[in-house]
Amino acid sequence: MSGSLEYGVSLYSYTGEYGVTMTLDDCIEDVADLGATGLEILGEAHIEDYPNPPTAWLDAWFERLDRFGLTPTCYGSWVDHRRFPGRDITEDEAVQQLETDIRLAARLGFKYVRPKLGVVTADLEPHPVWEPATLRVLDLAEQQDVIICPEIHWPSVIRSKVVDDYIALIERTGTKHFGLLMDTGVFQTSMHHRSGGVPSRMGRGSARPPITPVVPVSDLEDVLQHVVHVQAKFYEIDDELQDHYIPWAEFLEVLVRRGWSGFLSSEYEGDYATGRAADQLRRQHALLRTLVAKETS
């Protein structure tokens, strides 16, 4: 099978500097400078006057894309079930939020919308409103030609109720506008503890948070047909261009062998310091490109 892997960056990678030492323009220019072609954003964080950006901002957005040859990939949406004090979000309110972000994402040229819903379990099972709300916006997603893709994010594991429920929706509806976003942090083999972060532990077998099992990359084979986008989560690439947390060689071998096509959208979540994200992103892209070249040679 043949596939095509492309390289992008999530602007979440610049969290430590965005709005402090870097503007949106600075971040986008850095993405283009490192040779990436895909651009992922968070709607509320990166769009001026969200959800109603002014015309001047929209014009500047498309001008940047053209100037740097960038493709909008994934738009991050936040559906907060605790948005209103004292009560959970209603189904209608969740639908309204999803509709707002689907329309805005499509307007900005994005193919994928990642809805981040509030969770109700330690292994990130989403609030029950996710399913009825998603079903009600599938027609709009089709009309706007976007794919809704919830994130499989550590400490969720692939073989879990969370993932089973997502796949069941796909199989039951036959929709082409709902898929999975695979965050590679799921496959971390050891914990990276960012300065000031919350300590977590990892284990084996049937462990559950706060001790989460190491997920074998082979589990990816079970769900890859439903994966539409990859957030290439990473924490640290050392001076020898080695990653001691994410098993990239194994992960990329599966993608290449199975002929998967799509973007590897880098998401840096390591230590924050001035210039660190830019440096780490370049290291990761060098590592990824080297490994993919080996797999495809």
Is the separation of the CB atoms in 182 and 153 below 8 Å?
no
Cβ-proximal residues to 15 (8 Å cutoff; 6+ apart), any chain: 272, 277
Per the document, the length of the chain is 297
Q: How far apart are CA 89 and CA 93, in angstroms?
A: 6
Bridge partners for 234 per DSSP: 268
Q: How far apart are CA 113 and CA 150, in angstroms?
A: 8
Integer CA distances (angstroms), 11 to 31, 47, 93, 231, 238, in order: 8, 12, 27, 11, 21
* Structural domains present in the chain: 5-296 (3.20.20.150)
Report the chain's terminal Cα–Cα distance, integer Å.
Answer: 14
CB environment 175-211: b (16+ within 10 A), e (fewer):
bebbbbbbbbbbbbeeebeeeeeeeeebeeeeeeeee
- Residue indicated by tokens 């060689």: 249
**What's the count of helices (H) and strands (E) in the chain, helices before strands?**
9, 11
Burial of residue 11 (CB within 10 Å: 0-12, 13-18, 19+) is buried
User: Any idea of the CA torsion for 215, 221, 226, 229, to the nearest 10 degrees?
Assistant: 60
State the catalytic residue, choosing from 46, 127, 153, 177: 153
- Residue indicated by tokens 């370049």: 282
Nearest CA-CA partner of 186 in 237, 119, 232:
232
Nearest CA-CA partner of 7 in 46, 34, 29:
34
**What does each of the 297 residues of the chain score in pLDDT, given as a tens digit?**
567 999 999 999 999 999 999 999 999 999 999 999 999 999 999 999 999 999 999 999 999 999 999 999 999 999 988 788 888 899 999 999 999 999 999 999 999 999 988 888 877 889 999 999 999 999 999 999 999 999 999 888 999 999 999 999 999 999 999 999 999 999 999 888 766 554 555 555 444 555 667 899 999 999 999 999 999 999 999 999 999 999 999 999 999 999 999 999 999 999 989 999 999 999 999 999 999 999 998
Q: How far apart are CA 66 and CA 59, in angstroms?
A: 11
Amino acid, res. 168: A
Q: How many CB atoms lie within 10 A of CB 144?
A: 18
DSSP SS3 for 211: strand
Question: Is-catalytic flag, 229?
Answer: no
